[in-house]
Structure 1
Amino acid sequence: MVKTDIGYTTVDAIVVRGRDLSKEIIGKFDFIDMIYHTTFARMPSAREKTMVTAILVTTADHGITPSSLAARLTYAGAPEAMQAAVAAGLLGAGSVFLGTMQNAAEMLIEAGRELGPDAGDEAVRDVARALILRYRQERRPLYGVGHPIHVNGDPRVATLRELARANDYYGVHWRLMDAISEVLIQEQGKKLPLNAVGAIASIVADMELDPMVARGLALVGRSAGLLAHLVEEKTQPIGRAAWELVLQDDPRNEVP
């Protein structure tokens, strides 16, 4: 038999994790409740809801990005398939854009195994130094630091850190992520402040969630942002204009 514990459908009802969707969920659950109910088979605490909401809001949008451009260009070519445009925007979520929260969370969880919850500041810094050295020797990208635009510091980080502290989720992984950035800046002279990827990864790690959840929540949040771009593309299109800019940049092309 092939089945899922998440839910099933009968002639008269839809059941999700043992609850009747029509009678026990719709109108009673908010979206974060539903994420926890379907994914973890339990309801979230108030502080969990606060942090997951913050992650979804943070990842929803920040203007023209590879994901929003991909969505807009796909919509420009196939306006009858809005779902394809959203999918196009999400397909590029990987180790360079959007999906890096998972990579950063995995990095923190792996390195954090050397530290107890009450580890001293110098012990945390030692682990940060060792991690930076190992990643450099292995030519691996160091996740969660630096930003092409926010070169003086990502403005989202302070707010996310404050929320994490207020909700008791500023733990050893947050401390390690902060230490990584501090070592890079203070000891190695590199302008690599903590970014939102590192902040969200720290939250997910200190919430003891699977790192995959970090990427998943980023995708859920970004879907809302992509919807906004497509609604705007319908009335204020820029996808074709972006394409024409590329054509104009190559003298061999003739812009139609």
Structure 2
Amino acid sequence: MNPDQPDPTVQDVADWWSTAVSRIAPNVIELRGRPVQELIGSISFAGVIWLMLRGDTATPGQERLLEAALVSAVDHGPHAPSIAVARMAATCGIGLNNAVATGVNLLGDAHGGAGEQCMTLLAEVRDRAAGTDVDTAAATVVREWRTRSKYLPGFGHRFHSVDPRRDPLLGLVEQAVADGVVDGAYLRAAQAVERVLAAGRARPVPINIDGCTAVVYGELGYPPPLARGLFVLSRSVGILAHAWEETGQGRRNKGPIPPSILPTHLGDA
């Protein structure tokens, strides 16, 4: 014990872990002030996510949008590194929870971070549009972003000429705007960027799943870092499903390529 510091009290220790997220006491579990027994069977999982992150209850329209975004990003097959590595991990003698954690740990800036980045881009367009029209704002922001990187997060896809998740998600946002659930600023910014990218091109560069979910999460008022967190929640479902499937296929020490194919040898350094 350091003689120069007072002894901690029970209150000091309790305050150390102070939280508004939950309250746990004997025979009591409250989530954001709501008894868990009142939530069980009366609220969806998407609704609980909203409650835990926001501290209040989503309206039906908000909950519908959030759930749609979560469903849309659940899986993109073993082409996705997070899925592939989880399947490999599942064959290495570790637990299912470790396999899922292995996949989640690959969701970084390059794989899993584009939604957060796109939200930042769209927020810039939205803010610039306050002083000019949205198309001019989008052109300016796109030009500035391309001076830093040729990659524009949230637009284009290496597999899909048009991401099959684009129209359903943006259609739901358009309906939410018409219903007064959201104001549409992120949607208008995304559509303006699409128009900028399509100008002078034979093939457009449409918004992809990262951009669509960025629109949804932006319209719902989430800050950009939570866009990545919500993507992680969504993709964890696909990671779990693939890891579980792999455990039933009997393979051991599955590598990234079949054992019959040898990597190209580059020779002595």
User: TM-score range, shorter-chain basis?
Assistant: 0.7 to 0.9
Mapped pair 1:102 → 2:116: yes
Distance 2:213 2:120 in 1: 12
Name the structure 2 match of 1:5.
20
Picking from 226, 238, 253, the partner of 1:213 is 226
Distance 2:259 2:213 in 1: 34
| Unaligned stretches of 5+ residues in structure 2 | 1-14
Contact persistence 1:67–1:89 (CA under 8 A): yes
Q: Which amino acid aligns with 1:177?
A: A
Q: Secondary structure at the match of 1:141?
A: coil
| Unaligned stretches of 5+ residues in structure 1 | none
Distance 2:93 2:234 in 1: 23
Distance 2:63 2:100 in 1: 25
Q: Secondary structure at the match of 2:41?
A: coil
Name the structure 1 match of 2:100.
86
**Normalising to structure 1: TM-score of the pair?**
0.87
Distance 1:76 1:84 in 2: 11
Distance 2:137 2:250 in 1: 49
Name the structure 1 match of 2:33.
18
Q: Which amino acid aligns with 1:220?
A: L
Percent of matched pairs sharing the same residue: 26
Distance 1:136 1:246 in 2: 41
What do the CA deviations read for 1:145-178 (whole angstroms, capped 9, x no partner)?
Answer: 111000x211111111111111224712212212
Name the structure 1 match of 2:137.
127
Q: How does 1:24-35 map to 2 (within 5 A)?
A: 24-35=38-49
Q: Quick one: structure 1 residues 141 and 100, their matched pair in 2 at CA, closer, same or farther if it must change by over 3 Å?
A: same
Shift of 1:131: 1.1
Matched positions, count? 245
Name the structure 1 match of 2:5.
none
Mapped pair 1:204 → 2:217: yes
RMSD: 2.3
Distance 2:250 2:119 in 1: 36
Deviating 4+ runs (over 3 angstroms):
187-191, 237-244
Q: Quick one: structure 1 residues 20 and 190, their matched pair in 2 at CA, closer, same or farther if it must change by over 3 Å?
A: same
Distance 2:70 2:193 in 1: 25
Q: Quick one: structure 1 residues 12 and 62, their matched pair in 2 at CA, closer, same or farther if it must change by over 3 Å?
A: same
Picking from 141, 145, 159, the partner of 1:149 is 159
Mapped pair 1:159 → 2:168: yes
Contact persistence 1:72–1:239 (CA under 8 A): no
**Normalising to structure 2: TM-score of the pair?**
0.83
Q: Secondary structure at the match of 2:23?
A: strand
Q: Quick one: structure 1 residues 243 and 188, their matched pair in 2 at CA, closer, same or farther if it must change by over 3 Å?
A: closer
Q: How does 1:111-126 map to 2 (within 5 A)?
A: 111-116=125-130, 123-126=133-136
Bigger CA radius of gyration: 2
Shift of 1:8: 2.4
Shift of 1:4: 0.7
Relative to total residues, which structure has the larger helix share, 1 or 2? 1
Shift of 1:238: 6.5
Shift of 1:207: 2.0
Distance 1:99 1:206 in 2: 18
Shift of 1:214: 1.5
Distance 1:12 1:94 in 2: 39
Q: Which amino acid aligns with 2:122?
A: L
Q: Quick one: structure 1 residues 5 and 139, their matched pair in 2 at CA, closer, same or farther if it must change by over 3 Å?
A: same
Picking from 45, 63, 71, the partner of 1:49 is 63
Q: Secondary structure at the match of 2:30?
A: strand
Q: Which moved more, 1:217-226 or 1:137-146?
A: 137-146
Q: Secondary structure at the match of 1:155?
A: coil
Q: Which amino acid aligns with 2:118?
A: A
Q: Secondary structure at the match of 1:14?
A: strand
Distance 1:244 1:100 in 2: 27
Q: Secondary structure at the match of 1:15?
A: strand
Distance 2:251 2:189 in 1: 41
